[in-house]
Structure 1
Amino acid sequence: MVMAVSFERYGRLYYLDPGPHRPRVGDKVLVPTDDGPEVAECVWAPQYVTEEIGGLPLCDGIATADDLDRDEANRVRRADARVIAKRLIRQHGLPMKVVGIDFVDRRPDVDQLVIVYFSAPHRVDFRELVRDLARGLRARIELRQVGARDEARLQGGIGPCGRDLCCATFLKDFEPVSVRMAKDQDLPLNPLKISGACGRLMCCLKYEHPLYQEFNAKAPSVGTPVETPAGDGVVVGHNVPSDTVVVRLAASGRRCACSRADVCSPRQQYEASSTTTPDAPLPEDLAEVQDAPKTAPTPSPETMAEHPAAEDPAAEDTAAEETTEQRRRRKPRRRRRLHHEDEGDAPQ
């Protein structure tokens, strides 16, 4: 069985093995972490899945009243630590922006630990800030600088599509995204159109990129003359999600959307299909025969006896003086002459 929890409402989902526990949606449960068990909310009740999933952390059980009180106290401490950190940053005049605060009180090697996540345009010397934070919060302080994408993941937000940010909900790792992906999808190269909340290229550009690559490899390009059920025309556009091609008809000039299979000839479909395989190699014996140089056959003694004219010494001297190209031209005439001589000897 599998269940899903979230530490914050509308935050990232984490999957657990419920074990013997059966929490309902909305119940508070204990989730094992590197810093000890933490309180999270059950978003998906335990349910059976068709596939075997291994390696999931085991749920530590339902949160008690003491666990809930401790979680609420840590929330208050995180809010106070954020206010103090912002005030001290302004006093020191550092170009830092506080992104998140973590308060750890169950680690065996430290009593209380405050982790401050911040973003900055460059490296910052915060040694004096750490001393003031430790004095004001009365705890051990760790400052960790994060990038633009990690900042958007920690803060969360709404994307251009109107949904919660992918990095704040389900994405675990940031995969590389390039401008080439936007070009393949015929998107405008305006940074305001293809950038996310973090200011970088949107992660969703990578979702449909393999589909566009497959479509562009098999469909006719823009400007290609094609034949459609409605008549001949020219391709003027593509619609990848619907697997159609926009064609401008030559007769009427109007545009129509045709299926990709209707405008591709059977030969193109066969060559672009994955079932097309190259010709099988020839066997070794046939390959040697095919690659062997072609030489003229050597005349046998019987043939020389039947054609005594070919053994004339004068003819041999003349042939020695001729070039190779002349000999090649004379061979057909020589065969024809010999053939006529054979025909003349036959009646006798």
Structure 2
Amino acid sequence: MKTVVGVKFKKTSKTYYFDPKDIPLQEGDGAIVETARGLEYGEIVMGPTQVEDEKVVAPLKSVVRKATAGDYKRMEQNQQQEKQAFSVFEQKIAQHKLVMKPVEVEYAFDGSKITFFFTADGRVDFRELVKDLAHHFRARIELRQIGVRDEAKMLGGLGKCGCPICCKRFLSEFSPVSIKMAKEQNISLNPTKISGLCGRLMCCLGYEQKYYEEMNRKMPRNGSEVTTPDGKGKVVENQPLCARTKVRLEKPDGSYEFKVYALEDLTFDRTQRPRPKNEKKNGERKGDREKQKPREPKEENGGKK
């Protein structure tokens, strides 16, 4: 077990572990820490805590000191310089006629390095731009191309729910999201409704996916026959969140009525479950063909060469 503190930096919501070195630190404090890029300012988001050795990425960097009044003043100066540098960045891009969108500028704590973040549809030859920026700022320059999801994470904003977007608030990394998740959750496939500020599928589609998968395995298939307290009928719609199913019932006069039943009130063939992802219609599973003995090649022309 090792004693560590959790530190979060300005442009990311990922928490990194550092050795507190007996420095009295608590959640909410600012700290100057040693990183691969040099000294950086970060916020303590987790006080001294014992964690297992395998959860610590070696080598474990150290906290240099608790942030002082001078450090906070330096951070304010850096923030002002970042705004000015962003304007210069925009001007230089226009001068060099590059097809790229500036996103953010980040100063190293000691001002020795400036990182410029941008987005672009493809590769951009920015070598001359780097030279121009280095000459202007007299510092080490790094241009870093990021994706649209990283752009949204940096800039932030409000999602369709009215809350700050998840990637800005608490997501430390992006998980895969697919259109299949929206289908399984019976969400409209209208791109404007399931896309986030970045234009990609919303990350929150994955939050309840496991629950939907579990419930869909328990519920009858759409179009299948079920027995209800009012007789037999066909499934029209499943409502996994409330564990209810909408059923179409046929009346004696040939007309139909629709009723919603709780899952426990229905009787149906539970063997008719959706097939596993790696199983095909004929029962053959993915990989079975690879295990089969390959066929001998047929001889052409009656076996004559």
Short-chain TM bin: 0.7 to 0.9
The total of aligned residue pairs comes to: 264
**Partner residue, 2:301:** none
Q: Distance in 1 between matches of 2:46 and 2:56?
A: 18
Bigger fraction of residues in strand:
2
* Maintained 8 Å contact 1:218/1:269: no
Bigger fraction of residues in helix:
1
**Partner residue, 2:82:** 78
Q: Distance in 2 between matches of 1:93 and 1:37?
A: 35
How far the C-alpha of 1:215 sits from its partner, in A, is 2.6
* Maintained 8 Å contact 1:4/1:13: no
Q: Distance in 2 between matches of 1:81 and 1:35?
A: 20
More contact order relative to length (CA 8 Å, sep ≥ 6): 2
How far the C-alpha of 1:53 sits from its partner, in A, is 7.9
* Maintained 8 Å contact 1:5/1:44: yes
Aligned Cα root-mean-square deviation (Å): 3.3
How far the C-alpha of 1:144 sits from its partner, in A, is 1.6
**Partner residue, 2:148:** 148
TM score, norm. by length of structure 1: 0.64
**Partner residue, 1:216:** 216
Q: Distance in 2 between matches of 1:193 and 1:223?
A: 27
Residues 203-262 of structure 1: CA deviation (Å, up to 9, x unaligned): 222333333233333311122221223543332211112222223444582422312x33
Q: Distance in 2 between matches of 1:141 and 1:128?
A: 12
Q: Distance in 2 between matches of 1:63 and 1:206?
A: 38
Q: Map 1:108-187 onto structure 2 (within 5 A).
A: 112-187=112-187
For 2:156, give the aligned amino acid: G
- Work out whether 1:262 is the aligned partner of 2:250: no
Q: Distance in 1 between matches of 2:146 and 2:71?
A: 30
* Maintained 8 Å contact 1:177/1:206: yes
SS in 2 for 1:171: coil
C-alpha spacing 1:231/1:15, structure 2 compared with 1 (3 Å): farther
* Maintained 8 Å contact 2:28/2:43: yes
**Partner residue, 1:236:** 236
Q: Distance in 1 between matches of 2:219 and 2:53?
A: 39
For 1:131, give the aligned amino acid: K
How far the C-alpha of 1:119 sits from its partner, in A, is 0.8
Moved more, 21-30 or 71-80: 21-30
Q: Distance in 1 between matches of 2:273 and 2:147?
A: 46
**Partner residue, 2:13:** 12
C-alpha spacing 1:243/1:3, structure 2 compared with 1 (3 Å): farther
* Maintained 8 Å contact 1:6/1:40: yes
- Work out whether 1:35 is the aligned partner of 2:37: yes
TM score, norm. by length of structure 2: 0.72
SS in 2 for 1:118: strand
Q: Distance in 1 between matches of 2:5 and 2:109?
A: 26
* Maintained 8 Å contact 1:28/1:42: yes
**Partner residue, 2:194:** 194
Residues 59-113 of structure 1: CA deviation (Å, up to 9, x unaligned): 614212332233223222222211111122222332221112122365xxxx822
How far the C-alpha of 1:117 sits from its partner, in A, is 1.0
Q: Distance in 1 between matches of 2:123 and 2:192?
A: 27
- Work out whether 1:204 is the aligned partner of 2:204: yes
C-alpha spacing 1:165/1:177, structure 2 compared with 1 (3 Å): same
SS in 2 for 1:268: coil
For 1:55, give the aligned amino acid: V
Q: Distance in 2 between matches of 1:134 and 1:243?
A: 61
For 2:265, give the aligned amino acid: D
Choose 1 or 2 for highest CA Rg. Answer: 1
C-alpha spacing 1:201/1:39, structure 2 compared with 1 (3 Å): same
C-alpha spacing 1:173/1:41, structure 2 compared with 1 (3 Å): closer
SS in 2 for 1:187: coil
Q: Distance in 1 between matches of 2:172 and 2:71?
A: 28
Q: Distance in 2 between matches of 1:172 and 1:215?
A: 28
C-alpha spacing 1:241/1:223, structure 2 compared with 1 (3 Å): same
For 2:152, give the aligned amino acid: A
Q: Distance in 1 between matches of 2:5 and 2:261?
A: 45
Residues 282-326 of structure 1: CA deviation (Å, up to 9, x unaligned): xxxxxxxxxxxxxxxxxxxxxxxxxxxxxxxxxxxxxxxxxxxxx
Q: Distance in 1 between matches of 2:66 and 2:124?
A: 43
**Partner residue, 2:297:** none
**Partner residue, 2:296:** none
For 1:162, give the aligned amino acid: G
Q: Distance in 2 between matches of 1:4 and 1:133?
A: 34
* Maintained 8 Å contact 2:116/2:143: yes
